[in-house]
Structure 1
Amino acid sequence: MNSSQRGLLVKHLSDSELDQAIAEAQKADETRLVRRLCYVKNLYAGDTRKEAGRRVGISRSTTRRWAHAWNDGGIEGLRPGFGGGRPPKPSQTQFDELCELLEEGQP
């Protein structure tokens, strides 16, 4: 097997510590983190990134990203950070202020 496919993986945790981290993430209902930690567990078991990714159902590019996130930051590196989505709607006060500003600027 191509060694670049396997990649180098930093062992931040022992196998038992990784199992404990997965259990804690499950208790905290962090399903995204559980999936990412299971991916790392598969890598610990000797899977290539492609094999480990297939087991948890992620794309090849995501396997690379998650492996780098693990190597760079361990569990905290894998923790999802939500940075997108629809912006929040303005509050009623903000909406009223906007209406006032628009009305003032009308001829």
Structure 2
Amino acid sequence: MVEQLDTAINDAQKADETCLVRRLCFIKNLYFDDSTERAAQRVGVSRHTGDRWLARWNDAGVDGLRPSFAGGPPAKLSPEQFEEFFTLLEDGQPWTPQAIDDLLWERYGVTYD
């Protein structure tokens, strides 16, 4: 299993998947008899995070450790509105934060925190 982890770590490094590399190193530490707490400490995360990673590893292997950033609230502006908004910002520099907030509200009816 350690050789398979090494291969997965090398593949993730080549693909520039740094989050996956870290998670795979955590799992590899477990195979070298680290406790979950010690393995987590070695990669700089909490024991609780290590527990979650271990559960994901047990459920789905390498794919279970891949970060998924799906979800979150939908965008307030469409892609076309974003493009228009950034063009307006570029054309009218310099902008104050308040002026940007006003522009977003007056033109698109949205606010951002």
Counterpart mapping for 1:41-80 below 5 A: 41-80=28-67
- Residue 16 of structure 2 aligns to a residue whose secondary structure is coil
Partner residue, 2:27 = 40
- Could you list the per-position Cα deviations for residues 46-96 of structure 1 after superposition, in whole angstroms to 9, with x for gaps in the alignment? 000000000000012101100000000000011110125674432239x8x
* Alignment gaps of 5+ in structure 1: 1-13, 103-107
Instruction: Tell whether 2:81 aligns with 1:92.
Output: yes
Where does residue 3 of structure 2 map in the other structure?
16
% same residue: 53
RMSD between superposed Cα atoms in Å: 3.1
Aligned to 2:17: 30
Greater RCO, 1 or 2 (C-alpha within 8 Å, sep 6+): 1
- TM-score (normalised: structure 2): 0.66
- Shift in Å, 1:17: 1.1
